[in-house]
Structure 1
Amino acid sequence: MSETGAELLVDCLEAEGVEYVFGLPGEELAELMVALEDSSVAFVPVRHEQGAAFMADVWGRLTGEAGVCLSTLGPGATNLLTGVADAHLDKSPLVAITGQGARERLHQESHQRLDVVDMYRAIVEWNTQLDDTAIIAESVRKAFKLAEWEKPGATHLELPEDVAAESVAGEPLPTRQPVARAEPNEGAIDRAVEHLAAADQPLVLAGNGAVRADASERLQAFVEATGVPVVSTYMAKGAVPDSDPHSLMTLDSGPDGQAGGAVAAADCVLAVGYDIAEHDPEGWNPDGQKTVLHLDHEPAEVYEHYNPEVELVADVAAGLRRLTDAVDVSWDTWCRDAHDAVVAAATERPDPEEPFSVRGTLPLLRDAMADDDVLVSDVGSHKMAIAKHYPAYEPNTCIVSNGLASMGIGVPGGVAADLAVDGNVVVATGDGGFLMNAAELNTADRLDASFTVLLFNDDEYGLITEEFEREVGESPGTRLTNPEFVTFAESFGIEARRPETWDDLDATLEAAVDSEELTLVEVPLP
């Protein structure tokens, strides 16, 4: 059957099971937009291309299926870039599609023409220009396969407008089951078990690879069988429920910032799905003396403070299963007190007389949310508090950007999460990150979304202020002035509240989280 290149591309998206394309149209995308309009794929028009990429990013994190974002050429493609890069370093499956001018003008300087394929090369797993209708089906299949392959990431396709309009006879390639990773090497399993058996105080370090591909279930089984305590990176929160007595929450949790002292005391670390882009190993292995065992889909990065004794390069879930079967030693008691201290510090509710704070708000928020509700954290000082002090009870219920760590992901991420999950969604953001993509409140309202934006307002780039004052004793350029946020939200037709007391905030969060309304709750910080 003859159709246009744009129609074939959309047929391929349908074959991949794509539900939403987040984007902003341009004139070079006219053929593609018409094809999307006639398809089962819903196009979500956004207010900024960065918002579209963040939505695709968070959709990919939550579903395991590649989120799709769309922009036109030139400034549209450059605006999309940050969100695509975020997916790249956060290991989130994403397919970006950008329009381009007709091929006849690409050999010379022309209006809005940039070499987008070259520009994206450093931040994607793979990309190409669809410069011939004959390669569309193969290229789309490859883009999704590589985006969703462990470790997942971003891919990119560029569609020139004349290719989009050309007639083509073709059909999508059939999708296949994801390629299974190999079972772990038997010799490596034996060596890992020997090191674990020789350890007095072993520790599991769960990275973001531990919340994908059923790995969290296998990790919980390993912990149950062996009693080895678990500490996670920020993006692995919930890999083992923080209610489990073996959980020490995250690397920086606890009164001393080292998960109750257990991280410093550990003599052997089993790193599961650990990603150096998220957390520098020098922080938990400063002298390089810990025995490190690496279990991941890819070999370990070469790093002075992360030089594993054993590398189990295999399917993470399969590796954990094999280790569970092979280890016959139990360490069930060595850091139980640390768990109790870490959890007690995280769940203590604020004194009614103390001023508002992010840390004081988190126990109230946790009580207002069900175990499977999703918290999307923007980047800022509040993110650090959430990472350290917000308990997570299921994998992928606390979405934190900690690879690229991009400010502005919060509100767009909330839009995607509201579409992707059945439970309630809360976006935690600061005034700095919020205003970077606050226009996506309009997108959320248009989609009849019903999530809660928890906005911490300190009138500054608070995390940068903290870093500057620690390093140089002052904080130039970090102070802000803000609009009246309640009025701002109400101008979008959104419910908004600004509590004045802890009791008021507690009641407001309880009502807002369970509400079917899109709601903004501002927490003014001193």
Structure 2
Amino acid sequence: MNAAERFVQCLEAEGVTHIFGVPGEENITLLEAISKSDITFITTRHETNAAFMASMFGRLSGRPGVCLSTLGPGATNMMTGIASATMDHSPVVAITGQGVTWRQHKASHQMFDLVEMYRPITKSSTSIASGEIISEVVRQAFAQAASEKPGATHLSFPEDIAKSDVDAKTPVLRDSAPTFLHPTSVKDSAVLRQIEQATKPVVIAGFGINRSGATDAFRLFVERLGAPVVETMMGKGTISSFHELAAHTIGLPNADYNQRILDQSDLIIAIGYDITELPPSKWNPNRTPVLHIDTNQHEIDQFYPVVANLIGSLPDTLQLLSEDVPNRAWSGWQQDRDRLRQEIQATYSMALPLHPQSIVRELEQATGEDGMIFSDVGAHKVWLGRHFQTTRPNQLFISNGFSSMGYGLSSAIAAKLLYPERRVLCASGDGAFLMNGQDLETAVRLKLPIVVIIWRDGTYGLIEWKQQQAYGRAPYIEFDNPDLVQLAVAFGALGLRVGEHGTLAACLKQAFTSDGPVLIDCPVDYRENLKLSDRLRTYGG
């Protein structure tokens, strides 16, 4: 048995079912071993996309996703997706091929120190120095990737080590997962004392609630508390958008109407919140006291003045808090929430190019409560985060940690592999799609019936929005597009253009009855961006 075969045995012991990656000369021995296993290898068209797929696969499956690249440019290509996994707290194990050990001490073709390159963007980065330590190294990588808070780990696998012989009788390492301590009482906690003294508390719901499976406990807690709830973009779905306590989403380029609710607060209760989701300076300029309730200790930030915290299992912590938390309902915040809700639920023009609000409404109706929308990064992300109404977790996915363009399509592919029965849609701008759209071919090859809607305006719209606000002009953001319908056809997908092939609703209906990937070219009117900024700037409450 060679070391690559032992490595694959260890992957199977970890429950790995899929690996996403691009073949390379330095990993052919490992690829040969994978081909003889029960693991499905998904060949992608770019290593960044392989990492994005592994990241979403890990997030949705609850066990680390796995991606593979060769050394040099393959490994550097994969880094963007790995950085995204770490900052978005998705469990991933990244494997890179590497040249033989006897040329690693000097300048050599395609070789850099990958362990050191990956170290800042992962929870751990290790080289496999001997075939005899593979069981330990793999177990450690998977354990660290899955531990709180989840993220990416990296293993560099030199080609000569992969070919080396190992003792076939050495058992694959299986050990117990670490026990996560659960609180038994919070009756005398400083958190409860702070809540008892507050008169206008506000809750911020972060991504950690959904990730920890604490949604039910969270909803019980806030209903007992009676305070308004704002969600981060990654925290959408922790409370229904239609709930009486829902004050909707924060994270726009401008302070939204619901920022006034936070400004009135005398205590902010941050639950499952990570400052990578949205800097505290954006929503807490007044430095209002904060309660930090999460699985990990808080980051030190001058705009995040934590006066008390509870660290541990979120479902258990929130369940215990609910037993003793006093009701702290207060009035006066609803008018700001209602102003925002009025805009979210209003009816907008369906004339072409479509208002972004109209696109969001059509997507909401077409995907339904069981659908999954994966937003790429751009101006459309802001409109989806603000206007898309959710009732539960995992309806709208937004990467607001690393926020890398190109995230959407690959994430949708991974989701469809795990949930073939659900409607899966990628919402992307024309800027983002043309950065990583080559894996539409992967979706065609795998016969995955996903829908990709391109919000087309021929600009980097989110940057234009900020340029116009800062300087009153927007240089260097315009570009030309290929015919997106013909591009889809060239890939082997169905291409539809709103207007030419019917209304957006009609195109979505046709797309969701297709047995393969469908790309919808949808023109968008981003003049609405500055109109929204003007309304928010002049809002007097």
Per the normalisation by structure 1, the TM-score is 0.95
Q: Indicate if the aligned counterparts of 1:268 and 1:292 stay in contact, CA closer than 8 A.
A: yes
Aligned twin of 1:158: 156
Q: Amino acid of the residue matched to residue 303 of structure 2?
A: H
Query: Partner of 1:469: helix, strand, or coil?
Result: helix
**1:260 to partner: Cα distance:** 7.0
Q: Give the structure 2 partner of residue 49 of structure 1.
A: 47
Q: What residue in structure 2 maps to residue 443 of structure 1?
A: 442
Structure 1 stretch displaced more, 100-109 or 495-504? 495-504
Q: Does 1:500 align with 2:524?
A: no
User: Alpha carbons of 1:181 and 1:420: their partners in 2 closer, same or farther (altered >3 Å)?
Assistant: farther
What SS does the corresponding residue of 1:167 show, helix, strand or coil? coil
**Do residues 247 (structure 1) and 234 (structure 2) align?**
no
- Residue 114 (structure 1) aligns with: 112
Distance 2:380 2:28 in 1: 41
Partner of 1:18: 16
Q: Which moved more, 1:228-237 or 1:151-160?
A: 228-237
Partner of 1:249, secondary structure, is strand
Which AA in structure 2 matches 1:179? T
Residue 182 of structure 1 deviates from its aligned partner by 4.2
* 1:317 correspondence with 2:321: no
Give the Cα–Cα distance (whole angstroms) in 2 for the partners of residues 137 and 254 of structure 1: 47
Q: Is the 8 A contact 2:186 2:321 kept in 1?
A: no
1:370 equivalenced with 2:388 (yes/no): no
Match of 1:174 in 2: 174
Cα shift at 1:255:
11
Deviations 1:134-160 (A, max 9, x none): 111111111111111111011000101
| Cα deviation digits, residues 461-497 of structure 1 (max 9, x gap) | 1111111222223222211111000010011111111
Of the structure 1 ranges 332-341 and 433-442, higher mean CA displacement relative to structure 2 is found in 332-341
- CA offsets 1:231-258 (integer angstroms, 9 cap, x no match): 1111111112222222222114799714
Output the CA distance in 2 between the equivalents of 1:392 and 1:182: 30
Q: Please, what TM-score do these two structures have when normalized by structure 2? A: 0.92
CA distance in 2, matches of 1:130, 1:54: 24
Q: How does 1:333-372 map to 2 (within 5 A)?
A: 335-353=333-351, 355-372=353-370
Specify the alignment match of 1:205 in structure 2.
204
Letter of the 1:519 counterpart: V
Relative to structure 1, the CA distance from residue 22 to residue 220 in structure 2 (aligned partners, 3 Å threshold; closer, same or farther) is: same
| Partner residue, 1:326 | 324
Q: 1:253 to 1:341 in 2, by over 3 A?
A: farther
> For the residues of structure 2 that align with 1:239 and 1:161, how far apart are their CA atoms?
46
Kindly provide the CA deviation profile for residues 3-51 of structure 1, in whole angstroms up to 9, marking residues without a partner as x: 2111111111111111110000111111110111111110000101011
Counterpart residue type for residue 190 of structure 1: S
Decide which moves more: 273-282 or 481-490. 273-282
1:278 matched to 2:273: no
Question: Letter of the aligned partner of 2:436 in structure 1?
Answer: N
Q: Distance in 2 between the 1:175 and 1:507 partners? A: 53
Per the TM alignment, residue 352 of structure 1 is displaced from its structure 2 partner at its CA by 3.6
Matches within 5 A, 1:97-496: 97-169=95-167, 170-174=170-174, 176-177=176-177, 179-183=179-183, 186=186, 190-252=189-251, 257-259=256-258, 261-288=260-287, 290-331=288-329, 335-353=333-351, 355-421=353-419, 422-496=421-495
Q: Say whether the 8 Å CA contact 1:297–1:314 is kept in structure 2.
A: yes
Distance 1:214 1:512 in 2: 32
Displacement of 1:332 in angstroms is 7.1
- What amino acid does structure 1 have at the position aligned with 2:25? E
Structure 1 residues 362, 119: closer, same or farther in 2, change over 3 A?
Answer: same
Give distance in 2, aligned partners of 1:142 and 1:497. 47
Structure 2 Cα separation of the partners of residues 309 and 123 of structure 1:
30
Considering only aligned residues, what root-mean-square deviation do their CA atoms show, in Å? 2.1
SS at match of 1:168: coil
**SS of 2:521 mapped into structure 1:** strand
Amino acid in structure 1 at the alignment position of 2:223? E
Q: Number of residues paired by the alignment? A: 522
- Change in Cα spacing, 1:481 to 1:354, as seen in structure 2 (3 Å) is closer
Q: Mind listing any 5+ residue stretches in structure 2 that lack a counterpart?
A: 526-541
CA contact (8 A) 1:255 1:342 kept: no
> How far apart, CA to CA, are the structure 2 residues paired with 1:374 and 1:520?
16
In 1, are the aligned partners of 2:202 and 2:228 still within 8 Å (CA)? yes
Alpha-carbon distance in structure 2 between the residues aligned to 1:417 and 1:403: 19
**TM-fit CA distance, 1:351:** 2.5
1:132 Cα deviation from its structure 2 partner? 0.5
Distance in 2, matches of 1:15 and 1:377, equals 33
Deviation larger for 261-270 or 26-35: 261-270
**Displacement of 1:340:** 4.3
- Stretches of structure 1 that go unaligned for 5 or more consecutive residues are none
Partner of 1:522: 521
Q: Deviations over 1:65-105 (max 9, x none)?
A: 21111000001000000000011111111110000111111
Matched to 1:213, the amino acid is: S
Partner Cα distance (1:444, 1:179) in 2: 39
Question: Aligned partner of 1:195: which letter?
Answer: Q
Describe the shift of the 1:227–1:102 C-alpha distance in structure 2 as closer, same or farther (beyond 3 A). same
Q: Which amino acid aligns with 2:31?
A: M
Moved beyond 6 Å, runs of 4+: 253-256
Whichever residue aligns with residue 232 of structure 2, its letter is: T
Q: C-alpha distance in 2, partners of 1:241/1:64? A: 23
Q: What is aligned with 2:537?
A: none
Shift of 1:354: 6.8
**How high is the sequence identity, in percent, across the aligned residues?**
37
| Secondary structure of residue in 2 paired with 1:345 | helix
Q: Which amino acid aligns with 2:291?
A: L
Contact 2:257 2:337 (8 Å CA) reproduced: no
Counterpart residue type for residue 128 of structure 2: L
Matched-pair contact (CA < 8 Å) for 1:232–1:249: yes
- Cα offsets for 1:276-299 (capped at 9, x unmatched): 1120111221121x2210011221
Q: 1:254 to 1:241 in 2, by over 3 A?
A: farther
> Which deviates the most, 415-424 or 485-494?
415-424
